[in-house]
């Protein structure tokens, strides 16, 4: 009895299930897909996107653009004094600092006195010059007398020649003594030596004081720099050397001023300590807003020929190769391997594999990468 009841229940359930399936199949527009169509159809090396499929409308295709803009490289840079416009002042003689006429940061003009030294060596140089001038005057007078006596027949030729020789030696000694004074740059009293500014500029350092004895003439007493024109020094790493071209410009921003223009000069060799090559840009600084030692990030602009430019989002990595999907027909794409150069913000330059005007998937290419 109980077994019959179970059979009746099971049979009723199966009948209800069959009736439900039949009703579902009769609803308009309803069908059960047993073999759904693929989203991507392979046709040799072509990938065809099925219209109305899950990938339709999710891929952005754009033509390859070209650019003539220069390649830009960011480089660490700093302000330096222009070559030949910073001079260390040394004492030309051993002596003692009698007075200082300037202080650090003071502007000076060419020929201004920076300090005064007392020097026994200088006094000796003046004394030698006086003696030489006196000996020269005596030799000239002696030579004139010898010539006159010889003309009157009261003297031998050898006496005149001896006087002439003495005169030449006196002239040579007088020139030597005078040139020594010129080399010392003296323009003051005998025994005192002024240190003269070689050009107009700013006193950037002083390392001496009144009363100091100068025993080493190689010691730096002060430094004078002209910063009306400064140079920007940008450091180029060795890895970027192949990018250098004949036409390059530098742009270096500073607070209140930006220096830009063609590269003025570059080092002929790399610095062994940094493995970098320095590029230089001359920059006018009439207001003296820029100071040696300031740092910034300079932009090196390297002129380029017309090249294809592609967004990074279009690139796919395939082992060690870079590829993109190129549109060959509507909704039909082929993978192509390309060679890229360097980044330009969110884009890259294409060296080979693509031409301007070709249409490439720029967004959503990753969706096709596994097909």
| pLDDT band at residue 9 under the 50/70/90 scheme | low
Res 308: pLDDT:
81
| 199 close to 111: Cβ distance less than 8 angstroms | no
Res 77: pLDDT:
95
Rounded to an integer, what distance in angstroms lies between the CA atom of residue 91 and that of residue 165? 37
**H helix or E strand, kind and range, residue 233:** strand 229-237
Res 4: pLDDT:
58
DSSP code of residue 133: H
2 or 195, which is more confident: 195
Tokens of 150: 């010889």
Res 309: pLDDT:
82
Q: Per residue in 198-256, pLDDT tens? A: 889 999 999 998 988 888 888 999 999 999 999 999 999 888 787 777 788 999 999 88
What percent helix, strand, coil does the chain show, rounded to 5?
Answer: 25, 40, 35
The vertex-327 CA angle with 322 and 331, nearest 5°, equals 125
Distances from the Cα of 85 to the Cαs of 80, 81, 204, 231, 289, in angstroms?
Answer: 10, 6, 12, 11, 17
Range picked from 126-130, 153-157, 219-223, 316-320 for highest mean pLDDT: 219-223
| pLDDT band at residue 103 under the 50/70/90 scheme | very high
The pLDDT of 50-71, averaged and rounded, is 81
Rounded to an integer, what distance in angstroms lies between the CA atom of residue 341 and that of residue 348? 7
**CB neighbours of residue 253 within 10 Å:** 14
Radius of gyration of the chain (CA): 45
What pTM was estimated for this model as a whole? 0.60
* 50 CA to centre of own chain: 53
Whether the predicted pLDDT of 51 surpasses 90? no
* 311 CA to centre of own chain: 28
Distances from the Cα of 341 to the Cαs of 289, 324, 344, 366, in angstroms?
Answer: 39, 15, 10, 21
| pLDDT band at residue 58 under the 50/70/90 scheme | confident
Q: How many residues does the chain have?
A: 371
Region of poorest pLDDT, from 16-30, 47-61, 122-136, 233-247: 16-30
Collect all residues with Cβ–Cβ distance below 8 Å to 314 and sequence separation of at least 6: 324, 360, 361, 362, 363, 365
Mean of per-residue pLDDT scores for the chain: 83
Rounded to an integer, what distance in angstroms lies between the CA atom of residue 352 and that of residue 350? 6
Res 234: pLDDT:
94
Whether the predicted pLDDT of 80 surpasses 80? yes
Region of poorest pLDDT, from 24-33, 288-297, 305-314: 24-33
| 347 close to 309: Cβ distance less than 8 angstroms | yes
The pLDDT of 253-273, averaged and rounded, is 89
Phi and psi at residue 277, to the nearest 5°: -110, 135
């Amino acid at each position: 009895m109980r077994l019959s009841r179970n059979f009746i229940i099971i049979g009723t359930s199966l009948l209800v299930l069959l009736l439900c399936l039949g009703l579902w199949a009769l609803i308009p527009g309803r069908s059960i897909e047993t073999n759904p169509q693929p989203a991507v159809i392979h046709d040799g090396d072509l990938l065809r996107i099925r219209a109305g499929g899950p990938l339709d409308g999710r891929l952005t295709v754009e033509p390859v653009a070209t650019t003539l803009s220069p390649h830009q490289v960011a480089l660490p840079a700093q302000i330096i004094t222009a070559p030949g416009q910073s001079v260390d002042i040394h004492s030309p003689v051993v002596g003692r600092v009698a007075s200082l006429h300037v202080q650090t940061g003071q502007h000076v003009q060419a020929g201004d006195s920076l300090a005064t030294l007392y020097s026994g060596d200088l006094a000796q140089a003046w004394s030698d010059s006086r003696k030489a001038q006196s000996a020269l005057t005596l030799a000239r007078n002696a030579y004139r007398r010898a010539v006159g006596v010889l003309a009157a027949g009261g003297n031998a030729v050898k006496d005149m020649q001896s006087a002439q020789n003495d005169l030449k030696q006196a002239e040579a000694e007088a020139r030597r003594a005078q040139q020594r004074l010129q080399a010392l740059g003296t323009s003051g009293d005998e025994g005192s030596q002024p240190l003269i500014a070689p050009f107009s500029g700013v006193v950037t350092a002083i390392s001496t004081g009144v009363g100091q004895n100068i025993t080493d003439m190689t010691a730096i007493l002060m430094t004078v720099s002209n910063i009306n024109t400064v140079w920007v020094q940008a450091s180029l790493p060795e890895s970027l050397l192949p990018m250098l071209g004949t036409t390059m410009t530098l742009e270096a921003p500073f607070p209140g001023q930006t220096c830009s223009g063609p590269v003025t000069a570059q080092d002929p060799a790399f610095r062994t300590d940094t493995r970098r090559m320095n590029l230089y840009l001359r920059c006018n600084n009439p207001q003296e807003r820029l100071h040696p030692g300031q740092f910034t990030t300079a932009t090196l602009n390297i002129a380029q020929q017309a090249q294809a430019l592609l967004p990074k989002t279009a690139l796919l990595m395939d082992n060690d190769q870079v590829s993109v999907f190129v549109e060959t027909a509507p909704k039909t794409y082929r993978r192509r391997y390309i060679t890229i150069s360097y980044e330009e913000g969110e884009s890259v330059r294409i060296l080979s594999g693509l031409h301007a005007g070709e249409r490439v998937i720029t967004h959503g290419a990753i969706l096709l990468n596994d097909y």
